Structures are given as C-alpha cells and as structure tokens.
Amino acid sequence: MIQLSSVSKQYPSGHLAVTGIDLSVPEHEILAVIGPSGCGKSTILRLIAGLEEPSSGSTRVADHEVQGPDQSVGIVFQQPRLMPWLTVERNVAFGLDKGEESSGEVAEVIARVGLTPFARALPRELSGGMAQRVAIARALVTRPPVLLLDEPFSALDAFTRIDLQAHLLEVWGWYRPTTFLVTHDIDEALALADRVVVMGGSPGTIRADITVDLDRPRSRTAPAFHRLQDRAMTELGRSRDVPTATESVTG
C-alpha cells in the first residue's frame, strides 16, 4: 500500500534529512517508526503525504506515484490543528466539498470517535484529548486507504495518551486503514504497531525492522512486551554509537 524505494530527501538549505530509505507497508498493517529527533522520521511521513517531494527515489501510495497531497491519505498532526472558528462537525467536514458536508459520513465518524454530544461545540470548548479525536475523525471522514499519524499523542498527558492509544485501535478497526505512525515513544509503538521500524543517524537511515508478534489487546507488563522493549532500546542504542557531530540522541 505504501512503497518507498531508495528515497532520499535533501532540503533546499542543503540539509540531507534521510537517505537510502526502502520501506513497504502492506495493506491493513500498522507500522510505527521510532527514532531520536532529527532522524528524519517526520520527513518520511511528509513525503508519503505529498507535502514534500523526494530528492531521489520513488514514493508510491495505493499503486500510484505520490504527486502532491491527494485523497488517498488522511493525516493527524502532533497538534490537533482544528479551525478555531468552526464547530466540531464543520472541522471534520473541512476537506469535503459542499454538498458532501451534510451527508451521514460526518455524523458517523464523529460517533466513531465518541464525540456526538460535542458535534456543535467550538474547539476552545474541548480538552486536548478531545481535540485530537476530532483531528482523527477529520482524517478518516473520507475513509482514505492510508492513515498518517505524526507523533499524534506526544502533546498529551500520560493518562490521556494511553486512553487515546486504545481509542485509536478501536477506531482503526472500523475499516483497518494502512497506518503509518511516527512516534518517539517506544511503548506506544509496541502497543499499537504490527511492525516497528527504528531509525537513526543524520542523514536518517533505517536501523532495524522489528515485527511485533503479539495479540491485541496487548499487555504492557507481559514478558514478551518487555523483551521487545529491550530489543527496541538496543536498536536505538546502537544508533547512539555512531559518532556524528550533528546527531541528537536525547530527542
């Protein structure tokens, strides 16, 4: 569903963000990308979204070459980015054309994220977690085959974050979109994803590809979960050994 072949991205400033990225995400899979800040994981998400163009290599989504943003992906950013002047339902319908706005799809997706009582509320009346659920509903309203999440819960407190992770899986079960999750939270990656890709270095490259072979719902205290945590930590640690002057490992 998502296919990156030897992709690299150099920004006009000359900064080489990622290089030699080969990655494919089969349909209905949830893939998480973890790594320290500056390793280029958000760059890859922006390439898939069509918000950036690769300097070389090819990015394909749903069997076509990505050429700018299109309807086959929905994006959830780190901040909810809701339009403060629109109600919840109009925010969810924001990308739709006139006429589609009043269709049942908007109401349905709002119900899926459990915000029906707030359909007519303004963003200022929502908590951070609720606002992010609206952002998820907005991304999914057209049922895009691909869902991109860019550190979607990192601005939330720890309790809300765990709740929203469970909620995301629930909403994901609706039609199981192919999901690309960027995070710097190892637990989040292991709790949600079928596969975890570890990135590191500058320019960023893929360091490891871990299959998370655990049944859902997952217990974060099970020994198997701990083993995967250790493995991910080790892989992240390995990237720490690469001595490059500009690398940031604290993230």
User: Which residues would be at the binding site for other proteins (CB under 8 A)?
Assistant: 49-51, 68-70, 75, 77, 79, 81, 83-87, 94-95, 114, 117-118, 120-125, 127, 129-130, 159-160, 163, 167
Nearest to other proteins of 32, 168 (CB atom): 168
CB of 242 to other proteins, least distance (A): 32
164, 151 Cβ separation under 8 angstroms: no
Report the residue number, 139 or 212, with the smaller CB distance to other proteins.
139
Q: How far is the CB of 188 from other proteins (least distance, A)?
A: 17
Give the nearer residue to other proteins in terms of CB position, either 82 or 228.
82
Nearer to other proteins, 130 or 208 (CB): 130
Q: Report the alpha-carbon distance of residue 212 to residue 224 in Å, rounded.
A: 10
Closest of 35, 39, 4, 36 to residue 18, by C-alpha: 39
Identify which of residues 57 and 129 has a Cβ nearer to other proteins in the complex. Answer: 129
- Which amino acid, 35? G
Side chain identity at residue 195, one-letter code? R
When the beta carbons of 150 and 235 are compared against other proteins, the nearer one is: 150
Phi, psi dihedrals of residue 94, rounded to the nearest 5°: -55, -40
Question: In whole angstroms, what is the distance from residue 186 CA to residue 188 CA?
Answer: 5
Q: Which residues contact 141 (CB under 8 A, 6 or more apart)?
A: 74, 92, 93, 95, 96, 105, 106, 109
| Inter-helix orientation angle 104-112/128-140, to 10° | 140
Task: Find the shortest distance in angstroms from Cβ 49 to other proteins.
Answer: 6
CB of 51 vs other proteins, minimal distance in Å: 6
Q: 32 has which bridge partners?
A: 181, 196
At closest approach, how far in Å is the CB of 123 from other proteins?
8
Taking the complex as a whole, the smallest distance from the CB of residue 133 to other proteins amounts, in Å, to: 8
**Sheet strands (E) in the chain:** 2-10, 16-25, 30-34, 56-61, 64-65, 73-76, 146-150, 178-182, 195-200, 205-211
